[in-house]
Chains A and B, each alone.
Chain A
Amino acid sequence: MNAHSKHLPSSDATDNLRIQVKELRILRKQTVIVDRISFDVKAGEVLGLIGPNGAGKSTVLAAMAGIDTPNGGSILVDNQNITMLSASERAQRLGWIEQLGTVHWPLSVERLIMLGRIPHLPPWSRPTDIDRAAVEDAIVRADCVGIRYRQVPSLSGGERARVLLARALAAEPTILFADEPVSSLDLSHQLQTMQLLHDYASKPCAVVVVMHDLSLAARYCDRLALMHEGKLIAIGNPATVLSDKNIGDVYGVSVVTGCNSVPWVVPEHLL
């Protein structure tokens, strides 16, 4: 009991951390893309990665999802180094939604979403009722019910994005990484998708989402991480991160911000 309580403060402090990024450094052909950045993602939160094009957001996301190996630093998933996880453990726990994801064969929507269960299927087994239930749940959540029997090439860009989102949800990851999931969506599906990610985080899982729409980011993300030229400029609650100074420094524009029923950020002019 005593021994336990002695360790309690330290373990308590890290217990609800889903991902810890420490001194992450990534190079591409000698160019520094991500420059020693550190941050945490807590269980139950949506962290928004924002910043101008080329800031290194997607690169960080891919490294956190275990797809690319960083050149320096470490990534801890539930206090375990990501390099210590087996490929299947990683695939079961971490979900990643590619920016402009491709589908190479004209599969039906339903079959494509079923592919999301691959990390959970033991070799030589067929999908069970559990797998089918997860797929069904993902189809409903991502609003793919009406298109489930269509072939992927017949879908619009936004419909395809929703299907790929459903594919990732079907895997039921505890940490979900989404690279610009709402860029190609219409207004209602933007809200729907962000609400979905928000609800998903409260499971409690953790969601890290790269996005460009600062208004949506301010509204649906619990915290924002602002990146610029590979460095982490600010991290914290949306109101503090989206200060006029931060946005001016990073994006080079002045913005009009406000909050009526929902927060909004609108670019005013170039600085």
Chain B
Amino acid sequence: MSDRYYLPVLTVLVAILSLFSLCLGEQWSTLYNALTLPFTDPDSVSAVITREIRLPRTLIAVIAGMSLGVSGAAMQGLLQNPLASPGLVGSASGAALGAVLALYFFAGVWHPQSVPLAGMLGALMTTGIVYFLAGRDATVSTLILAGVAINALAAAGLSLLLNLAPSPFAVRELVLWTLGDISDRSMQDVWMMLPCTLTGWLLLLGTGRSLDALTLGERTAKSMGINMHRLSWRVFIAVSFCVGAAVATTGMIGFIGLVVPHLLRPFAHYQPSRLLPLAAMGGAIMLLSADICVRLVAMYTSVPVPLKVGVLTALVGAPFFLVLILKSRRNYWQ
């Protein structure tokens, strides 16, 4: 298959999975019904279910998945490091901390945008700290250490909030939320995450060529006219916007930003600019598939409590990533 078809093929896959996700539920609807009933008979039960429950869930999976995938690819390109995913360098846990803080203290008091914005600020702060701790051109081990430290710090903050939570009910709410979940979302949640997400995507547009130049190392990139300072901040802010909004809406969904770019990199010929759009589509595919699996498990097995989608991505993603590292470490660490 010629390499120009990779992106269209992935996009078609996203579309197919999205349509499937719209039809899937206790009340299976046909594709025709799912697409036409909301227009022809907007008040029917089936139309309401599609519009109010399945559509937001699908859209959130696509948007958050794209954000996580593209953020992972951008971070790895910027830090020239295949392990630099939003999860490992602390963006996700920072976003979670920020979003939980906003939920905890300001829920309902502030504008609905305050939760994604707080998530974004949290992500920006933790990512910035890791960046300064490890420095650019950091070795894998420095980066992981800095990420571990900052993740521990964010986890401590979350634990503190849990500890001080006023009721067991609130504790349960917060814990479930940190597992990563996209069930019971409404279109309002979609509108809430959209502005921050779009800002992040727009900022990432056009960084591809600079990330390509960074393949040659920071100093050579500089000699090729790349302003490293501007590029780093642009990517950090963009990733914080994307991940902040995604995590604020879905909770912590790990490993997409790590596994997806890693898996798709050979199809991008290892070129960061080509990887960005592929990773976005790949992220959407992974999150949609995981969500579909979770729903199928809930429908056809006797698991008493519905699985959270973040648990599934971690369960699949972590071992998968171990295998990937073992397979490809010769390429990266010689």
Contact = CB atoms under 8 A, between A and B. Distances in A.
Interface of A: 62, 65-67, 87-88, 90-92, 94-96, 98, 101-108, 111-112, 115-116, 118-119, 121, 123-124, 151, 153, 164, 167, 171
A107 B269 contact: yes
Given A119-B224, A124-B206, A105 B219 contact: no
B117 to A, nearest CB: 29
Nearest to B268: A105
Interface string B207-220: 00100111111011
B216 A106 contact: no
A167 B265 CA distance: 22
B304 interface: no
Given A104-B80, A118-B209, A67 B222 contact: yes
Contact of A153 (B220, B227, B334): B334
Contacts of A98: 216-217, 219-220, 223
B270 A106 contact: yes
Contacts of B216: 98, 101-104, 112, 115, 164, 167
A87 B227 contact: yes
B320 to A, nearest CB: 20
A263 to B, nearest CB: 32
Nearest to A121: B209
Contacts of A65: 223
B122 interface: no
Given A90-B225, A106-B332, 15 more contacts: A62-B219, A65-B223, A94-B223, A98-B220, A98-B223, A101-B220, A102-B216, A103-B215, A104-B214, A105-B271, A107-B269, A108-B269, A118-B209, A123-B206, A151-B331
Contacts of A87: 225-227
Interface string B32-57: 00000000000000000000000000
Interface in B217-273: 217, 219-220, 222-227, 265, 269-272
A96 B223 CA distance: 6
B145 to A, nearest CB: 20
Contact of B224 (A91, A103, A123): A91
